[in-house]
Every structure is written in structure tokens, then in C-alpha cells.
Chain A
Amino acid sequence: MARKLLAARADLVEEISKLARSRNQTIYGLVNSILEQALKVYRMNLKLEDIVDSYMILRNLKNLGFIPLPEDVAYKALDQIFNDEPKETVDLGLRLGEWYGRVLEAQLPDLKPPDMLRMIIREVAWAASEVAVLKNGDQLIVRCIGPRFSRSYTELLARMAEGVALSMGFKTVQRYVARGVILLTLRREKSLRSGEPDRLV
């Protein structure tokens, strides 16, 4: 098999060679394996970065007590809970979102609020057909569509998203939530501490 030379940042190459040594692999073998995985991902029209971030968010969700559940079972249970205790359910969503947003912000400090919100909603709402978070000046517009969502699930998810936004200093100024449709307009409320970089930019 023909071999060729690839130029990369020296510090990264150093790191890769350290990794290869610790795994008893050759640099050649490890670099090829890494690039092959990246190619596999790109062939699926995805980006390696998205997959790694998605993995981290899912791992965190699992650590924070989120569990996979068949959709119909989850919706049925939520409908019952929502009927019995609507206020508590909504509060739970908001609290979970806020807490989760804070945990994730600490773990993924480089993610900007729109990306963070989009990724969290996407990783939680598996059945969503569309998740978009758009930046409009100091506002964020959140749009999430899930034709299969139940009414109670939509409400819980919307509250969770608002909780995440709250943890990042954004407050809901407009909301439209109907079964399967979430449209939120969020505005930055909390002023940045002096010297704190503006993560929206």
C-alpha cells in the first residue's frame, strides 16, 4: 500500500504519537484508523465534531438520570402525570433544563448558547423532525417540530428548553407551544460579568 506524507499541527502530532505509544500502536496505524473513522462519518454526511459532542451530551444525559424509553410508553406516562400534576410537571421540566444547562456549560465551555440549546434539544427529543435555534440580535429563536410528540411531552420539552436557556442568561419573551410544535423567542437578560467573553458571538 502506497504511503504518503500529511502535514499537521506539531502539537497534535505529538499528542497522537503519545497516544499511539500508550496503546502500543504505531503512529502510522493510529493516524490511519482515526482518518478512516472521520471518512466514515463524512460519508454519512455528518461531522466528527457533531458525533463527539453528541456522544458527550448523551453520556451526560445518562449520568444525570435521563433514560431511554419507548416513545409510546413515555408519552402515555407523561400524559397521566401531566393530567394529575400539571404544575409540578412543568416545574420539573424547567428545573431539569436549568440544571442540565449549567452542568453542560461547565463541561463544554466552548459551545455557544445557540449550539448548546440546539444540541440538547436534539439529543433529548429523538422524535423531533426539526430542531433549529437561530440568532437574531440579542435574541434566540427556538423552533422544534415533532409531529409524534404528545401534548404533555411537547410542554415538558419546551419547559426544559426554557430552563436550559435560563441557565445561559436567556429569558422567554414569547412562546407558542402546541402539540408537536415549540416556538420560543428568548432574550438575553443577564448582563455579562466584566471580562466574561460573550458566548453568543
Chain B
Amino acid sequence: MSSKKPPKKLVVVRGDILAKVARIANREGKTITTFANEVFEQAIKVYEMGLTLPEVVELYMLTKISREGGGSVVPRDIIRYLISKVYRSDRDELTRRFYEAGSWFGKYIVARVHDRDPLEFLERLLYANVWDVKEVYVGKSGGKLSVRCVAPQLSEEETRLLASYIEGLVSALGFKPAKNDIIRGIILLDFEGGGESEGSYGEEGSLIREGQE
């Protein structure tokens, strides 16, 4: 059997990074080349999906926060069933529960993430946490925060429950609901205030579309 090794090339890297890579490779019982090859393979896989490594790592971290904050992933049929059984008879109670769940999660984020302003990653957090969402926009201008979600596949009831969850979440970050416009598949929420968070987020906002998170 041929044991011919694939050809190698040299790349220039920062000395301090290479030193750290060498330490980890050593700990893992690998050569620096093997370690770098494995990392490059994963990175190429990610970039080929139209994403970047920092995005994937951040999304993983946000999902980890959601996981540890009492979230779960369930088939969509569960929420459909819940709506069919409870929404019409006890709409207010169900809406309140979603608001409270969002509010609890918002407070959990504030308590959990000390070194960053939650508004910095709210958009990605919503993208990771909301259902079937195609676009999420979070923008802050002056004392006003706007949240927009576009999820065309959601029913009217699902959209309203989701909006309630988001309202609870953003309110827990210190904002007061100012205006809402909710129609099937589209959530437009405006908030005022922002307490300590105010002013620490870019004024322009940004937009995440499906496939480019």
C-alpha cells in the first residue's frame, strides 16, 4: 500500500497564534500540521455553506445559552396542536405564558452574559430562537428599538404567540413596548427606553436573512 503523503504548502501565520496552536496540538497528541489540516477542513466546509467560522461559532454559543436557559426543540406539530386545543378557548392565558417565557429568557440572558450588551447579539439570538424565521432585523435609533421578523410560513396564531415571546424578551432587556403591528408571518415591534443598554448599539441596525446567519 502506498504511504505517500499528500504535498504540503507553507502559510504565514501570526507567531502567537501558532504557539497556541502548537500547545493544543501537543495536548491532543497531534502534529501542528494535522491539527491545522483538521481546522482548515472544517473551515472550508463552513465557508462552502456561505457562512463564516465566527458566525457558526457564535450561533453555537447562542444556542448553548438557549439550551441552558430552559429551551427545547420540538416538532412544529406540537405548537399546532397547542393552538388548536388551547388558543381559541384560552388565548390570553397562552399569550401570557409565551410573554413570561420570553421575559424569563431575557432576564436569564442579562444575568448570564456579563461582558456584552445583549443588544449586540439580539438579532442572532432571535434568529436562533424563533420559528421558521426568514429575516430578522433589530435596529436602534435614538431611544427607539425596532424588531422585525418575517416568517411567512407561520399562521396568524403562531405569529401572535411568537410576537408575545419577543415582547417579553425585549422588555426584560429594559425596553417598553411602544407599538406593534402583527399580521400573519410578519412581526413589527417598536420599543422605547432601554435603560443601561441605550446607546451602546450601532444606530443603523442590521438584517439577517436565511442562509447567511
A interface residues with partner B (beta carbon < 8 Å)? 1-16, 19, 27-28, 31-42, 48-49, 51-52, 54-56, 58, 61-62, 65-75, 77-78, 80-81, 84, 92, 96, 123-127, 153
Contacts and interface: CB of A to CB of B under 8 A. Distances in A.
- Among A4, A28, A49, A67, the most chain B Cβ lie within 10 Å of the Cβ of A67
B146 interface: no
Interface string B118-148: 0000000000111110000000000000000
B10 A127 contact: no
Contacts of A37: 43, 53-54, 57
A77 B17 CA distance: 49
Contacts of B21: 6, 35, 38-39
Interface of B is mostly: helix
A92 B81 CA distance: 13
A1 B16 contact: yes
Given A8-B37, A49-B38, A70 B14 contact: no
Interface residues of B, number: 65
Interface string B78-100: 11011001100000000001100
Interface of B: 6-18, 20-21, 24, 32-33, 36-47, 49, 53-54, 56-57, 59-60, 63, 66-67, 70-79, 81-82, 85-86, 97-98, 101, 104-105, 128-132, 165
B207 to A, nearest CB: 18
10 contacts: A13-B9, A14-B9, A34-B40, A35-B17, A39-B21, A55-B60, A69-B79, A70-B105, A77-B82, A80-B81
A50 B209 CA distance: 24
A189 to B, nearest CB: 26
Given A66-B75, A92-B75, A92-B77, A51 B57 contact: yes
Sorted from nearest, which 4 A-B pairs have the closest CB atoms? A2-B15, A70-B101, A67-B131, A126-B67
A31 B42 contact: no
Residue with the highest number of chain B CB atoms closer than 10 Å, among A19, A39, A61, A70 = A70
A12 B41 contact: yes
Contacts of B85: 80, 84
> Interface of chain A, helix or strand or loop or mixed?
helix
Contacts of A69: 71-74, 78-79
Contact of B73 (A2, A5, A39, A126): A126
A37 B42 CA distance: 11
B71 A71 contact: yes
A67 B132 CA distance: 7
Nearest to A42: B24
B112 to A, nearest CB: 15
